[in-house]
Amino acid sequence: MEAGKWLPNPRYRALYARVTGTREAELFGPDEPALDSAHSPARPVPGDVADAVTTVELARRLRLSDVDTATLETLAAVTGSLCTQYAYRRPDELRAEAQRWFVYVVELLGKRVGLYEHRELLVTAGWLALLIGCVEYDSGLAVAAESTRLSALQLGAGHSEITAWALEMAAWFAHTLREPDQTVSYAEAGQDAARSAGVAVQLVAHEARALARMGKVNGVHEALERGHTLLSRMPRPSNPRHPFVVDPDKFDFYAVDAYRVVGVNDRAAAHATEVLRTGRGPGGEDLAPMRMAEARIILAAVAARGRP
């Protein structure tokens, strides 16, 4: 600028003059200096400079946020706690509280938030939607559950785990409706989205159980082997009661069901025995009573099948 190569956009000249403690006319003169053709190709026009300053300012505004890190951490902790309560809390109470937090997150999204905060709020909303959808389906609200699941899928776009769990829910819904073809389709799509996340194990289990109901014994063997391989690469979860954390002990239960359906009795019995072994607490109590009861029933059924 001092060499006369360019002048700032007129809207910024007063600011330059104020900073330098002089008048605009003294600093810049009445007109822009004429430039020879040799310099003109490299000369940014005033509009370019203004655009560059505007871009920097907009980028700065995008980083500004009314939501701080502490708020994001609190929301993540609350969401994790609500998910853990899924195992024992009354469904109507859990749904109502999760919906209240969901509304709060939506309100925060309506405020001034930076790109990072916006993304984290969408992720939290996605997990809450998944939880609400599960509770709704358990409560017999199938239509509401499907709508909530689709909302979670949209909120979690770009988040592989949320996308995979939304597809896992679809596979679960299809399985309970006795639609094995749909179950396999959703399970395969979920595995593609899951990448290396633990949800892939749950999706493989759904696939195996659906294949069993289609009478595809080899497919059941292949899927369950694939699931065991995935499990072997994963550490044990610190909170297996969380519905969106895969409990490795539950995979044997799924294997029991699949092998029972296709009549592979020896493997069904072996996995049922493993369910009973891992499902007892320190005092010998059943940690998962329904799972343990079904394992005992299957052992009885297998024993009955083996009688002449």
What are 72-131's pLDDT values in tens digits?
998 999 999 999 999 889 999 999 999 999 999 999 998 888 888 889 999 999 999 999
pLDDT of residue 63: 59
- Position 39 scores a pLDDT of 43
Per-residue pLDDT band at 294 (split at 50, 70, 90)? confident
Predicted confidence at residue 57, as pLDDT, reads 59
Give the range among 15-29, 226-240, 276-290 with minimum mean pLDDT: 15-29
What pLDDT, on a 0 to 100 scale, did the predictor assign at position 42? 46
Give me the chain's average pLDDT, please.
84
Domain ranges across the chain? 10-63, 65-157, 179-308
φ, ψ at 286 (rounded to 5°):
-80, 120
Decide if pLDDT at 16 tops 50.
Answer: yes
126-159 residue pLDDT tens: 999 999 999 999 999 999 999 999 999 999 888 9
Lowest mean pLDDT among 41-55, 202-216, 232-246: 41-55
**Which pLDDT does position 38 carry in this prediction?**
44
Predicted confidence band at 36 (pLDDT cuts at 50, 70, 90)? very low
Of these ranges, 157-161, 212-216, 234-238, the one predicted with the greatest mean pLDDT is 212-216
Q: Are 102 and 129 in contact (CB under 8 A)?
A: yes
- Whether the predicted pLDDT of 26 surpasses 60: yes
* Model pLDDT, residue 56: 60
Flag whether pLDDT at 1 surpasses 50: yes
CA dist., res. 249 & res. 269, Å (int): 15
Which range (9-23, 85-99, 143-157, 170-184) has the least confidence? 9-23
- For residues 209 and 202, give the distance between their C-alpha atoms in angstroms, rounded to a whole number: 11
**Residue 186 CB contacts under 8 Å (≥ 6 apart), including other chains:** 167, 168, 170, 171, 174, 206
Q: Kindly report each contact of residues 109-118 with a partner whose C-beta sits within 8 Å and lies 24 or more positions away, as own/partner.
A: 111/66, 111/67, 112/64, 112/65, 112/66, 113/65, 113/66, 113/67, 114/62, 114/63, 114/64, 114/65, 114/67, 115/62, 115/63, 116/65, 117/65, 117/67, 117/72
Q: pTM of the entire structure?
A: 0.75
* Percent of residues, the chain, with pLDDT higher than 90: 46
Q: Which of residues 15 and 149 earns the better pLDDT score?
A: 149
Nearest-CA neighbor of 299 among 263, 270, 258, 262?
A: 270
Decide yes or no: CATH 2.40.128 for domain 179-308: no
Give residue 29's pLDDT. 65
At residue 158, φ and ψ (nearest 5 deg) are 95, -10
Nearest to 64, CA basis, from 110, 113, 105, 111 = 113
Give the span between the Cα atoms of 144 and 241, in whole angstroms. Answer: 24
